[in-house]
Amino acid sequence: IKYKDVNIGQVAAVQLSDDYSSVAVTAKIAKSAAGLMVEDAKFWIVEPRITLSGVSGLGTLLSGNYIGFEAGKSESSERSFSGLEVPPIITGDQPGRQFLLHAKDLGSLGIGSPVYYRRLPAGQVVAYGLAKDGNSVEIKIFITAPYDKFVNPGTRFWNASGVDLSLGADGLDVQTQSMVALIAGGLAFETPPFSPQAEAAAADTEFTLHGDQATAMKQPEPMARRYVLHFDESLRGLSIGAPVTLLGLPGGEVTSVGLDIDPKTKRLRGRVEFVVYPERLIAQLHNAQPVRDDMLARVSPKREAFFERMVEDFGLRAQIQSGNLLTGQRYVSFDFHAEAPKAKVDWSEDKAVVPSIPSTLPNFEAKIGSILAKLDKLPYEALGADTRKVLATLNQTLKDADKAVKRFDSDVTPDLKKVLEEIRRATESADQLIKNTDKSLLAPDSAGQQ
């Protein structure tokens, strides 16, 4: 039995327990180590272990297995202990702090799963179990020093196991912390930049474990307002979390996609709920001033009046648009449509109903369908017969033209050659006559010289 690589005892006997369900080990402990035998002391067998999180106990390949020991902090002495099936992940003398996380499920986490801070290994999962109410899982983690000082009450934790793959209107987003987390699972933590500065969290502070980094690092929106849209078209490709934009700028996200019944027509229609974050839109304004908490109540009525004016006077309407042609993901777009029918915002419900117009995709599909219908009505057989007649006539015309060319070549060409020969002879005679005339005029005894 070793403690800090020092022998503090030796196994004296090994036998089965009285009920044969376990093994009873009797050991002799040195007098110098008798004071270490307290209630929370731990014993386990040290042997070679290979796990996804690391390798331990390789020294026993030469020395043989032995019993490891970790001292406790209790002041009550004890002589009977239950040995651990696996070695403790964190020893009592290791600097750092332990925290408790609450999650919906364990996922792929296990004892020894790594915890990362800015992609650096900062701790491990040391224990887990079902909460008392049975509705969640409690996960104990140990963050080693000096990383534990970066955990404060505003720190966010998220599950970094495997690959964080998200497919949305903006495309494909893939993230992973490390190859170990990809295989064995892992956690990560970070403090958002908008979180107020605070001192390091005390040991055993409880936190919520979020499913992914985007959810964990989401900034709270005190001015958020929820709205409802109705559509008489397919909502395929529109998912929860899809962006809501105003003139192409992000300002919210879809929170629910479903169906309801139109009370007037008794017909099923699509129902989309979304949330708008005015702070994000205000930040896009030129020379915008940040909105303080004490301004929220005063800003809300003005915001509603401004929104109504945009809808009623300028034709602000919601429309489903295609965000990614490859993935088929869609989003909600707010734009001005001056030609849209007059409409108002319905404030009678708990969530205001905003007017919408059909997306361009159904109109495009309708136009394509109309063109195909017209093409389908064309008399293809009659057109084919007429085309064959035209081709036959053209073929006959080409044959007649070919015959005319051959006849011209056989009948006209010989006579044409004779005419050209006579013209050549006449030209040569005229040329000879001109030469003779020049000689006569240039002679010494000619009349021209005299």
Q: Band of the pLDDT at 450, cuts 50, 70, 90?
A: very low
**Cβ atoms within 10 Å, residue 197:** 7
Q: Residue 146: is the preceding peptide bond cis (ω within 30°)?
A: yes
Q: What is the dihedral of CA 298, 307, 349, 222, to 10 degrees?
A: -50
- Say which range, 28-37, 64-73, 108-117, 211-220, has the weakest mean pLDDT: 211-220
The closest alpha carbon to 35, from 82, 69, 86, 85, belongs to: 69
Q: Is the Cβ–Cβ distance between 244 and 334 less than 8 Å?
A: yes
The closest alpha carbon to 142, from 65, 89, 103, belongs to: 89
pLDDT of residue 449: 46
pLDDT of residue 412: 58
pLDDT of residue 390: 79
Structure-token pair, residue 335? 């734009």
Highest mean pLDDT pick, 49-53, 214-218, 444-448: 214-218
The DSSP bridge pattern shows strands 114-117 and 187-190 to be parallel
pLDDT in tens, 299-338: 567 778 888 899 999 999 999 998 877 777 899 999 999 8
pLDDT in tens, 110-159: 888 889 999 899 999 989 999 999 999 999 999 999 999 999 999 999 99
**Cβ atoms within 10 Å, residue 374:** 9
Q: Is 336 in a helix, a strand, or coil? A: strand
Q: Band of the pLDDT at 35, cuts 50, 70, 90?
A: very high
**Cβ atoms within 10 Å, residue 443:** 10
Distance CA 188, CA 156 (A): 8
Contacts of 161 (CB under 8 A, 6+ apart): 107, 108, 109, 113, 181, 182, 185, 186, 187
Distance CA 165, CA 117 (A): 20
Contacts of 396 (CB under 8 A, 6+ apart): none
Return the amino acid letter for 393: T
Question: Residue 97: is its pLDDT beyond 70?
Answer: yes
Structure-token pair, residue 263? 């009370």
Mean pLDDT of 376-402: 77
Q: Has this prediction a pTM greater than 0.75? A: no
Question: Tokens 């117009």 belong to which residue?
Answer: 357
pLDDT of residue 361: 63
